[in-house]
């Protein structure tokens, strides 16, 4: 179909991290489906890591060693310290949509977004702003240097068939 090298992000649950050998299982899946390791990103949440920090970080280090990226999802909703963020083997910081709510009426979330962007840049992390619903929000996150954005403004969830058609159209262009 002319569709090649498409990055994909997959949410990982607490149950999957507690699996006996999750990195081995992941490696089997990568081989079975012939996925390019560098195109796969696993999304985890802060709260998921807090349950068993040591084994979670061991798992993430194994995954990173395989060439798979790690994203910390819903950043800003958890309760971990900023120092804890420095110890995580992550590539991407996905900034929770709550920072965009009522931003046109309250400038404090903008101050927080700027602080998060400064910290992410200092840690050489890619950033994704979640929950973009308006052109103004998109312009705002672009203006503060956010790497990527996602939300209903950019696309509503689509079926596999719709996604395939969209990707095929991009491959033709």
Rounded Cα gap, residues 82 and 6, in angstroms: 32
Instruction: Work out the number of other CB atoms within 10 angstroms of the CB of residue 148.
Output: 15
* Strongest mean pLDDT among 1-5, 80-84, 97-101, 121-125: 121-125
Q: What is the pairing mode between strands 148-149 and 40-45?
A: unpaired
Give the chain's mean pLDDT. 85
Tokens of 52: 């068993």
Tokens of 165: 């058609």
Give the residue extent of every domain in the chain: 8-172
Tokens of 82: 């900023």
Dihedral of the CA atoms 8, 12, 16, 20 (nearest 10)?
70
* Strongest mean pLDDT among 21-35, 82-96, 144-158: 144-158
Packing angle, helices 135-143 and 108-122, rounded to 10: 40
pLDDT tens digit sequence for 127-140: 999 999 999 999 99
What is the per-residue pLDDT for 151? 95
What is the per-residue pLDDT for 171? 56
Mean pLDDT for the stretch of residues 143-154? 94
Please state which of the four CATH numbers 1.10.3300.10, 3.20.20.450, 3.40.640.10, 3.50.50.60 is assigned to the domain occupying 8-172: 3.20.20.450
Task: Measure CA 143 to chain center.
Answer: 20
Instruction: Work out the number of other CB atoms within 10 angstroms of the CB of residue 137.
Output: 21
Instruction: Give 71's strand partners.
Output: 43, 92
Confidence of residue 63 (pLDDT cuts 50, 70, 90): confident
**pTM of the predicted structure, to 2 decimals:** 0.86
Confidence of residue 80 (pLDDT cuts 50, 70, 90): low
Tokens of 61: 């280090």
């Amino acid at each position: 179909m002319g569709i090649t090298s498409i990055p994909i992000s997959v949410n990982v649950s607490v149950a999957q991290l507690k699996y006996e050998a999750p990195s081995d299982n992941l490696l089997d899946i990568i081989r079975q489906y012939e996925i390019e390791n560098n195109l796969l990103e696993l999304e985890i949440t802060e709260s998921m890591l807090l349950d068993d920090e040591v084994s979670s970080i061991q798992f993430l280090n194994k995954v990173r060693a395989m060439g798979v990226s790690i994203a910390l999802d819903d950043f800003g909703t958890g309760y971990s310290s900023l120092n804890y963020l420095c110890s995580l083997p992550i590539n991407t910081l996905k900034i929770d949509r709550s920072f965009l709510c009522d931003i046109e009426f309250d400038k404090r979330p903008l101050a927080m977004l700027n602080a998060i962007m400064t910290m992410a840049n200092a840690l050489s992390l890619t950033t994704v702003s979640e929950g973009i619903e308006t052109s103004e929000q998109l312009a705002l996150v672009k203006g503060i240097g956010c790497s990527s954005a996602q939300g209903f403004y950019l696309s509503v969830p689509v079926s596999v068939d719709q996604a395939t058609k969209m990707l095929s159209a991009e491959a033709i262009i």
